[in-house]
């Protein structure tokens, strides 16, 4: 293939790459703002190529186009190379200043080169313009290229040697760029020139390889290294882990400000409730001092707070632009040119903000464009502040917890699993009052130290509970006695739990609370004794009253005892079948059974002529007999007024007043129906009727158990609760009473009441 056609092909590829870079830059895929200095260079070069292409089409001089394109890229490549070099060395040469000068100097030199380069189109196979004094500016350009490359290698060699083991590609790239560079030097100074001009090709490959090396070096070795070092200094700060918020904020602000070379770094806490922004600390680079600024009222800056809540960062490159957070920029002062605010979030909520401020200066006369690396660094600063805030909150909580533990009426202690035993790692001040041992005497000891305090009679049970709790991972709760340091005896209540599990699944940390209940224990014992006495008195009173009732009506003697027996069996059947269990669960069963003895207490007030009449009652007499329910409630109310108990006679009142009510509402005294009748009354109704049926009454004979069961079955849904009748029928054999049967008498007359 003709050498010039080869060069045309290479130049076309390079032009395509430039167009691709331009498209990428305009589309926003190249995020480094410094690429803006590269943009006009691409335009100038592309314009030169297109201009020569147009001239070529008009003049049909294709070799002139090839040569002009080659010259254009020969000028373009050194410019690109120098751009990478000066970006890499900007931290050593002064931020942006040299680059700003070069953006004027290099285009001027290139334009002169393009204008004065000899176009030997008649000898397009041999080009000798770099030698023999032809093209003076072009030779100067080659010297500039050589100087720039040697300068770059001098800066990069230490970095390559230091990092090539971690990234071998750096070494390969470094030596790979030397080959085309040397070939280009040899070609430039060869006295006769070569038949094939390799200048654009070699310089192009040099800059492509060197671009990767210099860009990686600039970002990794300079800016990233500075940021990494600053973050390392923050991480190593004891204030961060200790949770000392103010000290941690000072270190973060100072390191961040120096690394960014910003004017100021302020760290603020924000209260969303009152929209007040409080300054924790502010570091000023010029004065190298830490200050605390006045609070800011953000009530008129709701948009700013909304942005902090919803955005990762708020970056303003040019504060002079209109409508750029005008509601808050006034707080930064009149000299502000750029700001970068990164929100601090704790547990997902906005807790503060890290503010980077840049004033106008010779380096930043109007604006400062924040790079992605700078934004990431500031985001890391806000993350560190969130960690410091969390540590400070935890430190305050821990101090409050310890203070609270020290004021508890007992001892709190923690034990860590240091196999084969647990070691006491913490004991509250309450240990002294409880055991006689100070926290210092307990901390560092094994669990045997605590087991040694347990009363010998309780030691086995305590060890068993402890082992079972550890094995099952369950909380433990136990009451036992301890022997104090001075030989005293105390009752204690202890509750413990596992708060941390080791990697192998065994308990890692135990937390226990132990409280002195000696006085409570003695009081409970005394209360139990007094309660037993009171209950005995109550029982005596109730039994005495019920015996008075039976004494007046010797025919129904034993009725109270038998109904109590039936009720007890009835409730057991209900529990077994799960019927009304949610209602009877709250009953005091002993008191209920005891109170059942008073269900007929109202009969004391009924005249003997009616109460003991051997035959059927008249309608008027029956109305008098029915009053024993209301009279019973009145008697119980009078007794209740003379006692301080609130529940002693509540059950008796219900039983006396409702045991003659019917499910269909035809009962007495109130005529209530269904579930409006208290469950106690519905139970007593069945037990009362069953006993009346199987025993002799003045007006009836004693029915058999089977006959009584049949009558109760027939009363289901009318006289009795059908659900309770179902329970009764399923357990009716348990209602057989083994007491002595009374002799039979009259048959039950139709319409007679049984009770």
Q: Which of 142-156, 350-364, 523-537 has the highest mean pLDDT?
A: 350-364
Q: Say what the pLDDT of residue 130 is.
A: 39
The better pLDDT of the pair 721, 43 is held by: 721
Whether residue 99 is predicted with pLDDT greater than 50 in this model: the reply is no
The pLDDT of residue 7: 47
Reported as a pLDDT band with limits 50, 70 and 90, residue 73 is low
Question: Which residues on adjacent β-strands are paired with residue 278?
Answer: 269
Residue with the bigger pLDDT between 420 and 55: it is: 420
- Give the lowest-confidence range in 194-203, 364-373, 566-575: 194-203
Q: Would the pLDDT of 205 be above 60?
A: no
Mean pLDDT of 131-159: 55
> What number is the average pLDDT over the span 208-232?
62
pLDDT for 472 equals 79
Are both 3-228 and 408-516 of the same fold? no
From the list 414, 418, 413, 412, the residue with the least C-alpha distance to 506 is 418
Give the SS3 label for residue 266. Answer: strand
Query: Which tops the pLDDT comparison, 633 or 638?
Result: 633
Q: What is the pTM for the complete model shown? A: 0.38
pLDDT of residue 637: 84
CATH number of the domain located at residue range(s) 408-516 in this protein: 3.30.450.20
Looking at the domain covering 3-228, what would its CATH class be?
mainly alpha
pLDDT band for position 665 (50/70/90)? very high
User: How confident is residue 753, by pLDDT bands cut at 50, 70 and 90?
Assistant: very low
Please state, in angstroms and rounded to a whole number, the distance separating the CA atoms of residues 325 and 319.
8
Q: What is the mean pLDDT of residues 427-437?
A: 86
Beta-carbon-side half-sphere exposure of residue 483 (alpha carbons within 13 Å): 11
State the pLDDT at residue 714: 93
- pLDDT tier for residue 672 given thresholds of 50, 70 and 90: very high
The pLDDT assigned to 577 comes to 92
- The pLDDT value given to residue 199: 52
Residue 656 has pLDDT above 60, yes or no: yes
- The percentage of residues in the chain with a pLDDT greater than 70, rounded to a whole number, is 58
Residue 712 confidence class, pLDDT cut points 50, 70, 90: very high
Assign 222 to helix, strand or coil. helix
Q: Do the beta carbons of residue 262 and residue 358 sit within 8 Å?
A: yes
Give the pLDDT score at 720.
94
What pLDDT, on the 0 to 100 scale, is given for residue 369? Answer: 83
Q: Which of 1, 15, 119 is nearest to 61 (CA)?
A: 119
The pLDDT of residue 408: 64
Domain ranges of the chain: 3-228, 237-398, 408-516, 526-735
Residue 690 has pLDDT above 80, yes or no: yes
Q: Read off the pLDDT of each residue in 532-559 and give the average, rounded to a whole number.
A: 65
> What integer is the mean pLDDT of 452-466?
89
Q: How far apart are CA 368 and CA 337, in angstroms?
A: 7
Choose between 686 and 546: higher pLDDT: 686
Question: Range with the lowest mean pLDDT among 135-144, 269-278, 318-327, 726-735?
Answer: 135-144
Q: Does the structure show a pLDDT above 80 at 209?
A: no
| 393-402, 434-443, 639-648: segment of lowest average pLDDT | 639-648
Asked whether the predicted pLDDT for residue 95 surpasses 80, the reply is no
Half-sphere exposure of 263 (CA within 13 A, CB side): 18
Of 92-106, 182-196, 408-422, 714-728, the poorest mean pLDDT is in: 92-106
State the number of CA atoms in the 13 A half-sphere of 734 facing the CB.
Answer: 16
Tell me the pLDDT tens digit for each residue of 477-526: 889 999 998 888 999 988 888 877 776 777 878 888 888 888 888 887 87
- Angle, to 10 degrees, between the axis of helix 62-88 and the axis of helix 3-27? 50
User: Residue 123: what pLDDT?
Assistant: 33
Judge whether residue 72 has pLDDT over 50. Answer: yes
Average confidence (pLDDT) over 284-293: 85
Using DSSP's 3-state secondary structure scheme, residue 419 falls into: coil
Q: Is the Cβ–Cβ distance between 480 and 454 less than 8 Å? A: yes
Angle formed by the axes of helices 97-116 and 136-163, nearest 10° = 140
Q: How confident is residue 118, by pLDDT bands cut at 50, 70 and 90?
A: very low
Under a CB-based contact definition with an 8 Å cutoff, are residues 681 and 669 in contact?
Answer: no
Q: Are 177 and 210 within 8 A, CB to CB? A: yes
- DSSP states along 662-698: -TTS--SSS---GGGS-HHHHHHHHHHHHHHHHS-BT
For the cut 60, the answer to whether the pLDDT of residue 138 exceeds it is: no
* Rounded Cα distance, 203 and 199, in Å: 6
244-253, 515-524, 626-635: the lowest-pLDDT one: 515-524
Span 37-62, average pLDDT:
59
Architecture field, domain 526-735: Orthogonal Bundle (1.10)
CA–CA separation, 98 vs 717, rounded Å? 106
Give residue 117's pLDDT: 46
Question: Which residues lie below 8 Å from residue 256, measured CB to CB, with a gap of 6+?
Answer: 230, 262, 265, 283, 354, 356, 377, 378, 381
Report, in this order, helix, strand and coil percent for the chain, each rounded to 5: 60, 15, 25
- Tell whether the torsion through CA atoms of 611, 613, 617 and 619 is positive or negative: negative
CB 671 within 8 A of CB 665: yes
Given a cut of 70, whether residue 570 has pLDDT beyond it is yes
Within 10 angstroms of residue 411's Cβ, the number of other Cβ atoms is: 27
**pLDDT(724) > 60:** yes
Least confident of 52-61, 291-300, 511-520, 712-721: 52-61
- Give dist(CA 500, CA 477) in Å, integer: 18
* CATH numeric code, 237-398: 3.30.450.40
Residue 742, pLDDT > 90, answer no
Q: What is the mean pLDDT of residues 531-545?
A: 68
Q: Is a pLDDT exceeding 50 seen at residue 640?
A: yes
What is the overall mean pLDDT for the chain? 72
The pLDDT of residue 680: 94
**Within the chain, how many helices (H) and strands (E) appear?**
30, 12
Most confidently modeled range among 126-130, 177-181, 280-284: 280-284
Question: What is the rounded CA–CA span in Å between residue 396 and residue 244?
Answer: 10
Q: Report the C-alpha gap between 139 and 144 in whole angstroms.
A: 9
- Could you tell me how far CA 143 lies from the centroid of its own chain? 64
Cα separation of 395 and 387, whole Å? 12
More confident residue, 170 or 246: 246
Q: Residue 388 CB: number of other CB atoms within 10 A? A: 28
Q: Is the peptide bond before 420 cis (omega within 30 degrees of 0)?
A: yes
Q: Can you state the angle between helices 224-235 and 372-406, rounded to 10 degrees?
A: 0
What lies within 8 Å, CB to CB, of 694 at 6+ separation is 702, 703, 704, 705, 708, 737
The pLDDT confidence band at residue 285, using thresholds 50, 70 and 90, is: confident
DSSP state of 716: B
Residues of the chain above pLDDT 90, percent: 12
Q: What pLDDT was estimated at residue 741?
A: 36
């Amino acid at each position: 293939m003709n050498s010039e056609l080869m060069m045309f092909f290479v130049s076309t590829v390079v032009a395509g790459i430039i167009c691709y870079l331009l498209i990428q830059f305009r589309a926003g895929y190249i995020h480094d703002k410094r690429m803006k200095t590269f943009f006009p260079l691409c335009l100038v070069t592309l314009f030169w190529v297109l201009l020569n292409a147009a001239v070529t089409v008009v003049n049909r001089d294709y070799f002139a186009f090839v040569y002009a394109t080659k010259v254009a890229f020969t000028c373009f490549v050194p410019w690109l190379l120098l751009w990478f070099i000066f970006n890499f060395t900007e931290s050593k040469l002064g931020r942006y200043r040299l680059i700003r000068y070069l953006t004027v100097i290099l285009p001027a030199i290139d334009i002169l080169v393009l204008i004065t380069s000899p176009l030997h189109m008649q000898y397009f196979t041999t080009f000798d313009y770099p030698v023999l004094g032809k093209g003076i500016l072009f030779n100067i350009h080659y010297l500039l290229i050589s100087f720039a490359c040697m300068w770059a290698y001098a800066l990069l060699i230490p970095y390559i040697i230091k990092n090539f083991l971690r990234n071998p590609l750096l070494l390969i790239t470094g030596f790979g760029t030397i080959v085309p560079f040397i070939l280009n030097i040899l070609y430039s100074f060869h006295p006769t020139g070569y038949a094939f001009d390799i200048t654009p090709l070699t310089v192009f490959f040099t800059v492509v390889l060197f671009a990767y090396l210099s860009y990686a070096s600039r970002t990794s070795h300079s800016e990233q290294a500075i940021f990494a070092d600053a973050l390392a200094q923050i991480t190593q700060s004891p204030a961060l882990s200790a949770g000392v918020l103010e000290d941690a904020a000072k270190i973060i602000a100072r390191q961040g400000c120096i690394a960014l070379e910003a004017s100021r770094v302020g760290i603020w806490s924000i209260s969303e409730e009152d929209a007040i922004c409080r300054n924790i600390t502010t570091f000023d680079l010029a004065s190298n001092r830490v200050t605390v600024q006045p609070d800011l009222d953000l009530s008129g800056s709701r948009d700013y707070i909304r942005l902090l809540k919803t955005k990762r960062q708020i970056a303003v490159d040019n504060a002079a632009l209109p409508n750029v957070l005008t509601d808050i920029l006034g707080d930064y002062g009149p000299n502000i040119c750029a700001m970068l605010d990164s929100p601090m979030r704790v547990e997902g909520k906005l807790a503060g903000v890290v503010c980077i401020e840049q004033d106008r200066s010779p380096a930043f006369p109007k604006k400062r464009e924040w790079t992605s690396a700078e934004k990431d660094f500031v985001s890391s600063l806000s993350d560190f502040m969130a960690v410091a805030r969390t540590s400070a909150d935890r430190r305050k909580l821990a101090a409050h917890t310890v203070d609270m533990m020290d004021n508890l009426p007992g001892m709190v202690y923690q034990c860590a699993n240091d196999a084969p035993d647990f070691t006491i790692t913490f004991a509250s001040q309450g240990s002294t009052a409880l055991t006689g041992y100070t926290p210092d005497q307990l901390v560092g000891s094994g669990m045997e130290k605590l087991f040694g305090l347990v009363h010998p009679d309780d030691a086995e049970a305590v060890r068993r509970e402890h082992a079972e709790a550890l094995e099952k991972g369950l909380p433990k709760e136990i009451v036992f006695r301890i022997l104090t340091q001075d030989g005293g005896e105390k009752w204690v209540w202890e509750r413990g739990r596992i708060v941390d599990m080791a990697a192998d699944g065994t308990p890692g940390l135990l937390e226990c609370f132990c409280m002195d209940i000696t006085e409570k224990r003695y009081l409970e014992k005394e209360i139990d004794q007094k309660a037993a006495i009171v209950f005995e008195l109550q029982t005596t009173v109730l039994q005495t009253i019920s015996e008075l009732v039976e004494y007046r009506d010797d025919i129904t003697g034993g009725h109270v005892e038998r109904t109590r027996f039936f009720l007890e069996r009835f409730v057991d059947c209900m529990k077994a079948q799960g019927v009304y269990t949610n209602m009877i669960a709250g009953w005091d069963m002993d008191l209920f059974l005891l109170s059942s003895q008073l269900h007929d207490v109202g009969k004391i007030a009924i005249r003997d002529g009616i109460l003991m009449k051997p035959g059927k009652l008249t309608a008027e007499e029956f109305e008098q007999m029915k009053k024993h329910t209301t009279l019973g409630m009145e008697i119980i109310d009078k007794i209740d007024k003379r006692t301080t108990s609130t529940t002693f006679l509540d059950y008796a009142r219900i039983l006396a007043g409702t045991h003659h009510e019917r499910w269909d509402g035809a009962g007495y005294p109130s005529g209530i129906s269904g579930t409006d009748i208290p469950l106690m009354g519905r139970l007593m109704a069945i037990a009362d009727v069953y006993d009346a049926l199987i025993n002799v009454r003045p007006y009836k004979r004693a029915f058999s158990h089977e006959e009584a069961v049949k009558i109760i079955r027939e009363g289901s849904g009318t006289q009795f609760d059908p659900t309770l009748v179902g329970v009764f029928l399923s357990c009716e054999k348990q209602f057989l009473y083994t007491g002595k049967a009374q002799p039979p008498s009259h048959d039950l007359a139709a319409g007679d009441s049984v009770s």
